[in-house]
Amino acid sequence: MKSHAAVEATQAMEVIFSVLLSLLFLGHALPTPAQLAGLCLMVFGIIMLSIRE
């Protein structure tokens, strides 16, 4: 199960870095509040999964 948590953490960080880098280098607009809430829920879930193990 630990390898599963590592994969999930990598995917979560990939999404965060993609959003940040698209803001910096591509000039995309900021995510909407609903998109930010979804991102926070995803990261929170991954943190809870890793704490549980």
User: Could you tell me the sign of the dihedral formed by the alpha carbons of 10, 43, 39, 19, in that order?
Assistant: negative
Alpha-carbon gap, residue 12 to 42, rounded angstroms: 7
At 51, list the tokens.
């704490």
The helix-helix angle for 2-21 and 33-52 (nearest 10°) equals 160
Q: pLDDT band for 42, please (50, 70, 90 cuts).
A: confident
Greatest pairwise CA separation for the chain in angstroms: 39
Q: Which residue has the tokens 């991102």?
A: 39
Whether residue 11 is predicted with pLDDT greater than 90 in this model: the reply is: no
Q: pLDDT band for 25, please (50, 70, 90 cuts).
A: very high
